[in-house]
Amino acid sequence: QVQLQESGPGLVRPSQTLSLTCTVSDGSVDSSVHYWSWIRQHPDKGLEWIGYVYYIGSTHHNYNPSLRSRVTMSVEASKNQFSLDLSSVTAADTAVYFCARIRQQLTYFDSWGRGTLVTVSS
């Protein structure tokens, strides 16, 4: 049973870059049948897909157009981790951030991390 765990700062200053890492256990980030994704949930709101990344020889990604200009995702295969950078954050980026595994082709999220709250505040 794959497990995912988010890590990173819980507080980020406005205009700075939010950086999170997801560590994958009992699974491999260079899987040929999965993508690795970030989703966020604003307080008491619904779910927003941020994007996904995968590594097959090189890194490939697909970002939500609403966030594309500020998002960078990467994979560190040697550490079995993948990461999210979200630049120029504002209070509107305050949310719980989840990492998750996506089944390729059908794109459902079959495993999730517990989530980490990131607050943007000065």
Partner 1 sequence: IQLTQSPSSLSASVGDRVTITCRASRDIGNYLAWYQQEPGKAPKLLIYTASILQSGVPSRFSGSGSGSDFTLTISSLQPEDFATYYCQELNTFPLTFGGGTKVDFK
Q: C-beta of 106: minimal distance to partner 1 in Å?
A: 5
Report the C-alpha gap between 12 and 55 in whole angstroms.
Answer: 28
Q: Residue 108 interacts with partner 1 (CB under 8 A)?
A: yes
Nearer to partner 1 among residue 87 and residue 112 (C-beta):
112
Q: Which residue stretch of 20-28, 53-61, 79-87, 108-116 sits at the interface with partner 1 (rule: CB under 8 A)? A: 108-116
Binders of partner 1 among 40-79, rule CB under 8 A? 46-49, 62, 64-66
Which helix (H) or strand (E) segment is 57 a member of?
none
CB-nearer residue toward partner 1: 12 or 39:
39
Greatest CA separation for the chain: 41
Cα separations in angstroms, 72 against 9, 35, 64: 17, 15, 11
